[in-house]
């Protein structure tokens, strides 16, 4: 069967992937970003305002491109995973994990038995991927991407055990989430409290030393080059609202200039 998850293929080929997090429920935005050449769109149902109906339409809007649609679910619960996979997502990013058992639970929810505990019901998925039920089910276990977000101090403490869990495709280093979970809100310039920065540095060093697949926020080309030199495999370009905010800043500059 032909591979349908091009991002997973890139990772298997040893190539990095670019990632954008989409928070706004807009089919037009999904089409625009999917046609931009970005490898992965993560539709954010944890902090964004995307509901399941909007999600289904946005996943459908990625058709005809090689962009892989993924979803960040609100919590590590199998019942939150099932409907988004059945809407056509080819991967999940799990927030707020703390232990190896949390990761095992997340991974299990991604796969059909006997590998995992995903329930059968891909009624809409077959239309997004152009294959009948039985072909999708036969191929789905090979196509899924599982991202684990490392954003809690407990996860750093348990990182050795967490890294032993099989079938994790990417560990996402979440600097600001880690800082916030430690009760240390980052500054407006995105600088972290020294204690929070030390925790981030610790988890980065441990993941990279173990040659684990790592992703992190990439604000500009300089940061991207630095991360690639460290062997980051996932480059998160930011959130849709961040990029729109930058564009809106241009309008502000023009208005001030002509006033």
What SS3 state is found at 148? strand
CB 200 within 8 A of CB 178: yes
CB 85 within 8 A of CB 125: yes
CB 72 within 8 A of CB 42: yes
- CA-nearest of 227, 113, 114, 116 to 165 is 116
Active site residue 257: no
Structure tokens at 184: 């240390």
C-alpha dihedral sign at 100, 101, 102, 104: positive
Given the residues 47, 133, 134, 190, the one annotated as active site: 47
- CA-nearest of 138, 65, 78 to 108 is 78
What helix, strand, coil percent values describe the chain, rounded to 5? Answer: 45, 15, 40
What SS3 state is found at 174? coil
- CA-nearest of 33, 2, 7, 215 to 91 is 7
- CA-nearest of 56, 218, 43, 202 to 122 is 56
CA-to-CA separations, 142 to 5, 111, 135, 145, in angstroms, rounded = 9, 9, 12, 9
Q: Active-site residue numbers?
A: 47
């Amino acid at each position: 069967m032909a591979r349908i998850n091009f991002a997973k293929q890139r990772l298997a080929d040893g190539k990095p992937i670019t990632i954008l997090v989409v928070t706004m429920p807009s089919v037009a935005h999904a089409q625009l970003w999917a046609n931009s050449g970005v490898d992965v769109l993560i539709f954010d149902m944890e902090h964004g305002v995307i509901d399941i109906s909007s999600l289904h339409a946005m996943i459908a809007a990625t058709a005809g491109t090689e962009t892989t649609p993924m979803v960040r679910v609100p919590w590590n619960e199998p019942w939150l995973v099932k409907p988004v996979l059945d809407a056509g997502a080819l991967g999940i990013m799990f927030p707020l994990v703390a232990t190896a058992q949390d990761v095992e639970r997340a991974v299990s929810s991604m796969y059909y038995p006997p590998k995992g505990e995903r329930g059968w019901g891909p009624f809409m998925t077959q239309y997004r991927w152009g294959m009948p039920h039985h072909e999708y089910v036969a191929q789905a276990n090979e196509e899924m991407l599982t991202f684990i977000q490392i954003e809690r101090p407990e996860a750093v403490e348990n990182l050795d055990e967490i890294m032993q869990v099989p079938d994790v495709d990417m560990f996402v280093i979440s600097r600001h989430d880690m800082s916030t979970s430690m009760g240390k809100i980052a500054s407006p310039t995105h600088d972290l409290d020294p204690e929070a920065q030390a925790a981030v540095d610790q988890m980065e060093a441990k993941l990279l030393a173990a040659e684990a697949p790592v992703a992190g926020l990439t604000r500009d080309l300089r940061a991207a080059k630095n991360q690639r030199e460290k062997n980051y495999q996932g480059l998160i370009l930011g959130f849709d609202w961040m990029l729109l905010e930058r564009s809106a800043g241009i309008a502000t500059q023009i208005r001030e200039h002509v006033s």
